[in-house]
Every structure is written in C-alpha cells, then in structure tokens.
Structure 1
Amino acid sequence: MSRINLNITTAEGEIFSGNVDSVTLPGEIGEMTILPSHAQLISTLSSGEMKLVINKEEEFLSIIGGFIQVNKDSVVILADAAERDSQIDLDRAEQALKRAEERVANSKTDMDLQRAVSSLRRAKIRLKIGKKRKNRSPN
C-alpha cells in the first residue's frame, strides 16, 4: 500500500517525521483527511485533534493552528503548537484547564479574555487527546 511521508514541525522543533497511511486534521473550513496521491493543497489549519494512521494503528495529536502543504505523497505541517498523545500529562492538562477557566472568569479586558479563551481551547484539546491515549492503554 502506498504511504505518505509526513513531517510535523513547530517553532520548538520536529514533532513527527515518518510514513503514515493517512492523516486527518482540522482545516479552517472543516476536517480533512489526506490519503496517498492526494491532490496538491496548501491550507491554514484550525485548532483541534489530528489523527495519524500508521500500519492500521491510530495515534492522536493536539494541534493549535498552522499551515499544511500537500504534494502527491508528502505532507508538511507547520503548526503553531502540536503535541503527541504520549507527551500529554493528564494531571498537568487538568491543572491548565482549571487555570484557563479562572482566567476566563476573571478577565478584565477584551484582550485578556481572548487570550484566556485561547488557553481554555488549547487545554480542552490537550485533555481530550490525553484521555484518548489513557482509554486505549491496556492497564
């Protein structure tokens, strides 16, 4: 089966580099799934859940904005922030969610509120992805 060479990079460095069967992620106008031999595409990304399928196994990442460039069998994602499910500490994610909720409730200016809402959105995404990993892990 044909595969896609995927590279995910943030300002902090490379998050993922390898071959995948497919990648599903949030675009600005909706969710998109990229398969091998996809038409060329350049698009902005929204914040949300990214799913990689690698040898029929799923891996989830949180993604916060960015850009995607798709060529026939390669995809480059430049994300504002991205985190693999294995990197998410659920306790820290829950603490970040509580802090973000407090910031939203106590915002005094529109700018403070915008930043707090952005932090809240990111915390919710991270928590959702982290819980997916926990639910998949055999214990």
Structure 2
Amino acid sequence: MAEMSVEVVAVERRLWSGEASFVVAQTTEGEIGVMPGHEPVLGQLVEGGIVKVTTTDGQTVTAAVHGGFLSVTGDSVSVLAESAELGEEVDVERARRALVEEDEAERARASARLRAAGQSV
C-alpha cells in the first residue's frame, strides 16, 4: 500500500503526525482529496473546516481546523492550521451551546467541532 507522511499542526501544538493513505481537507477552492504521489499543491483552509486523515492501518483521524494552509508534496501532506482540535477532544456540549449563543464566526467553529466529533449539526 502506498503511503505518505502527514502532519496536522496548529499554532499551539502538533495534533497528529504519522503515515497515511488518504487525506481530505476543505479549502477555499473546494474539498480536496490527496493520495500518495499527488502533485504538489498549496491550499488555503476554510474557517470552520474539517480535515480527515485515513491512516495506513485504516483508522480515521478527524480534526476541526480554523484557517491556515494545506501543503502537499509527492510524499507528504502538512496541515498548518491557525487553530485546530481533534474530534476526540471536542467538548460536544460546549460546541452545541456555541451554535445558539455565539456570533457567526464562532458558530462556524462550533459546527466544525461537532462534525469532527462525529455529531450531527
């Protein structure tokens, strides 16, 4: 199986790194899927977007990302987010409250957090 090195990094910390067979990210130009050997590309991540990484052992790592960039080379993908949260770290109740109590930008972030945590919005 072909694989590539993937890093998901936010300003404050590295969320995940390892080997993967597929990455999906939401950019300002649309959703992009990346497999090993993909042509080099640089994309701007959307606010309140999701990145999904399929590891070489078939696990899925999901993160809510808020701004930043996706950098792709033939054998690696770097997700460089302004801020990000792994789906398993999301405080679902807090995110649900933000959907109704916060401004539009925070509602978009809360929606991404819920989707990353596997919750319906």
TM-score with structure 2 setting the length = 0.89
Matched residue, 1:49: 50
**Equivalent of 2:108, from 121, 124, 139?**
121
| RMSD of aligned residue pairs (Cα, Å) | 1.6
Structure 1 segments, 4+ long, off by >3 Å, are none
Cα distance in 2 between the residues matched to 1:27 and 1:120:
18
Unaligned runs of at least 5 residues, structure 1 = 101-115
Give CA deviations for 1:57-93 in whole Å, capped at 9, x if unaligned: 2222111111111111111111011111110121121
Q: What is the match of residue 6 of structure 1?
A: 6
2:76 aligned with 1:74, yes or no?
A: yes
Larger Rg: 1
CA distance in 2, matches of 1:78, 1:57: 21
Amino acid paired to 1:36:
P
Residue 86 of structure 1 pairs with residue 88 of structure 2 = yes
Instruction: Report percent identity of matched pairs.
Output: 27
Tell me the distance in 1 between the aligned counterparts of 2:21 and 2:38.
Answer: 12
> Whose helix fraction is larger, Structure 1's or Structure 2's?
1
What residue in structure 2 maps to residue 38 of structure 1?
38
1 CA distance for matches of 2:59 and 2:79?
20
Q: Deviations over 1:82-139 (max 9, x none)?
A: 1111101211212222321xxxxxxxxxxxxxxx211111111112222x1x69xxxx
Counterpart for residue 60 of structure 2: 58
The SS at the match of 2:108 is helix
Consecutive unaligned residues of structure 2, counting only runs of 5 or more, are: none
Alignment partner, residue 24 of structure 2: 24
The normalised TM-score by structure 1 is 0.78
SS at match of 1:21: strand
The 2-side partners of 1:95 and 1:49 are apart by 20
Task: Give the whole-Å Cα distance in 2 for the aligned partners of 1:6 and 1:59.
Answer: 11
With a CA cutoff of 8 Å and minimum separation of 6, indicate the structure with the bigger relative contact order.
2
User: Aligned partners of 1:119 and 1:89: how far apart in 2?
Assistant: 14
More strand by share: 2
